[in-house]
Structure 1
């Protein structure tokens, strides 16, 4: 309304100015409430019958409320993203390049899983891998964890849940095609329900997913579950020290937030700002001021690491 007021001289009169002053004085929504959405595929493998009924009668319009939750953005998450932006000195790239340069992943894993992936597949694959690593943690290991481990665990899991939330319910804020994002999110949930539907506990889910990742299956019926499981198995086998494993995952997801923020979705971000805003919108504005505009990756997915 303010933009229209400035542009139209015919509006520069008391009849318009008084209502505008009233609206500006009494704000009914905050620009950003300091919260982020969370969505985890494996937590929705066994939907509650009542939630399934509500989803059915609402033609899935209530799925965002039924399958997600909102949490206050942990300060360590915000710090991790800003620290990563400072460390890379504005040279944003996909996290797999950093993993290769640090010697964390080998080229065989990289070529098989990462080559040519789109943003949506990239996010979902790593969300699955991170979720499997999280499910594999036992209660004693969490209770005896160090402060650094807890911090990295929070950063990795909360950003993983937030990126999956954006993919499934706010795809217009991501640089990928909206239909592709929704298709991958819904298809992965369907595959997870088919593959893990008979599992009665997280332990059963974990064992079945680890077996899938170890078998290096390429069965299209499990889709990205196979690729995510392979990454999880690789991390679990190579990094027995859980502190190091979650340190790497935390850095990776902080980089992921920077990687998916630049886009040409200015209208979508501006619209979201007017109705509350999103964490990714703030990062988008930040990198845009640093003249990082548009998709970071070339068309058609990520290139060869060489």
Structure 2
């Protein structure tokens, strides 16, 4: 009987109203989470951020459906229900709330077909009617269609003050990033070979264009960063649809701000008036005040602020910049007007989050091999969080320095000058240590073996030179680059093997075996110095990978001058990054974008625009 009374009590009108209000409040919180963290997630690898976004994303539709059901089944009709329903639909329809959390969400065919239907109405390219003519069967656009297109050349040829001023180069590069993202999307659509990859002008675009000039490194990675931001937004958000709608959605968001402000004012007036007797029966607090109206008024103000923030986020996005620059280029009255140029310049100067984390994941085997996680989150979330395996403890991420970028790009340009993209032996030739060290690249069976052997050797060299004094700045820079890339490649083996040349199962198996080797050979060795001495003194006939790394370290330490040793290691790891970056597994790279991005993905995109789509299968590949 008590249980029945409790159930009836929970279903009383006032408690039902409280439940509805709590759910509406959670909807506003969810909107805030998706708006802020949804834009932030592409530059964060934090698990807490990803889990928070996932909860808000996964709970949105069930929560809205349940709340609307409570309203419909309510024995009374509150005049504020319609306002709350609109708030919930705003939660579902925001620019980030209904985006895909992962690529698996795009396998929902009904949603996919609906998306295609919407895009067929909005995307300007779908309005064009290209002809397919023999014998080449190329798509040919008529003159009217061509006149509607804004090309990169049109933007470069524009003489307006906006694009010829100090910030004009950066704005042009944003448009270039958009064009490149459309080309890169073909890789994600399943095209393994791009038509332009074998053309000489494709190589010229990379080496004579992006990688030409004094500040080419900063510019090249900035262009690729914005390009991958476009790719991320295309697959994971609705910004592409907003961009294609000629600012309809932005206009609606602008209109929402004063509308919500007016609604909040009217509801506050409603709160101040004394309710009649019929209303008092259904109020949460019958203290002669309609607190439901006050709650809704505050909620409307929050929605107005969030809509204003959403407008700012879009105006500060690269999509908005491209839209305004395209209009600017094609409208003579705009590009000839100083006032319009300054106005658009002010809008395009707005800033928001960086497009990616701009950090390198780091892992050191000889520090973390004995790590064993309690997997508390794994058990607490009923396997929603992945289980951490033995020996996998990530080091603190480090900022991707300009020294690392410059070293990799200089290696690419130098190898291109030689007409080759090597599989990690060109640098050994260049440093005249090929005959001493080539065995570590040619005798090991997989790329994972090579990476981990050189990672172990680099770590041991770092320990060996830890107390060295009088090292010049060049050696210090080379050591920083070598250690950063060594730990990054080891991080890829441990945490992102799908981005490497070997099958992920092969890489994981090799790594797991290596962890067990380390636990056996280095048992009881607590300091890095003890571990270094143990590995360097192993029998040379032992072919276990950990011992191979120690033997390679011995060969490197035999190079008398530390500067020469770190030059060898720096050049090797730069070449290794270029060797492992080309890949046909575009999906693996696409999946890195919403979780902070990866440096190897930026290199993958950069090389693709130079026609380098695959890793060399022999000693070297012409580029």
TM-score, with structure 2 as normaliser: 0.42
Unaligned runs of 5+ in 2: 1-98, 101-105, 107-111, 123-237, 243-248, 254-309, 318-351
Give 1:267 shift: 1.2
CA distance in 2, matches of 1:41, 1:112: 18
CA distance in 2, matches of 1:268, 1:61: 20
Correspondence 1:10 to 2:339: no
CA contact (8 A) 1:167 1:174 kept: yes
Q: 1:45 corresponds to which residue?
A: 369
Q: How many residues align?
A: 287
Q: 1:296 corresponds to which residue?
A: 616
Among residues 474, 477, 500, which one is paired with 1:148 in the alignment? 474
Q: 2:450 corresponds to which residue?
A: 122
CA contact (8 A) 2:361 2:488 kept: yes
Higher relative contact order (CA 8 A, sep 6+): 1
CA distance in 1, matches of 2:412, 2:531: 35
Indicate the SS of the match to 1:231.
Answer: helix
Q: 2:151 corresponds to which residue?
A: none
Correspondence 1:70 to 2:70: no
1:38-87 deviation line (CA, Å, top 9, x unaligned): 0010011343xxx6323796587246984332111122111110111111
CA contact (8 A) 2:440 2:450 kept: no
TM-score, with structure 1 as normaliser: 0.81
Give 1:153 shift: 0.5
CA distance in 2, matches of 1:9, 1:96: 51
CA contact (8 A) 2:394 2:491 kept: no
Give 1:94 shift: 1.5
1:163-219 deviation line (CA, Å, top 9, x unaligned): 00011101111121110111112221221121112112222111111112xx31325
Give 1:280 shift: 0.4
Q: 2:557 corresponds to which residue?
A: 236
CA distance in 2, matches of 1:277, 1:207: 37
Indicate the SS of the match to 2:537.
Answer: helix
Matches of residues 60-209 of structure 1 in structure 2 within 5 Å?
Answer: 61-62=387-388, 66-89=393-416, 91-100=420-429, 102-106=431-435, 110-111=438-439, 114-115=442-443, 117-139=445-467, 141=468, 143-209=469-535
CA contact (8 A) 1:45 1:197 kept: no
1:239-286 deviation line (CA, Å, top 9, x unaligned): 111111001110111111001001111111122224431100000011
- Calculate the aligned-residue CA RMSD, in Å: 3.4
CA contact (8 A) 1:36 1:279 kept: yes
CA distance in 2, matches of 1:273, 1:284: 13
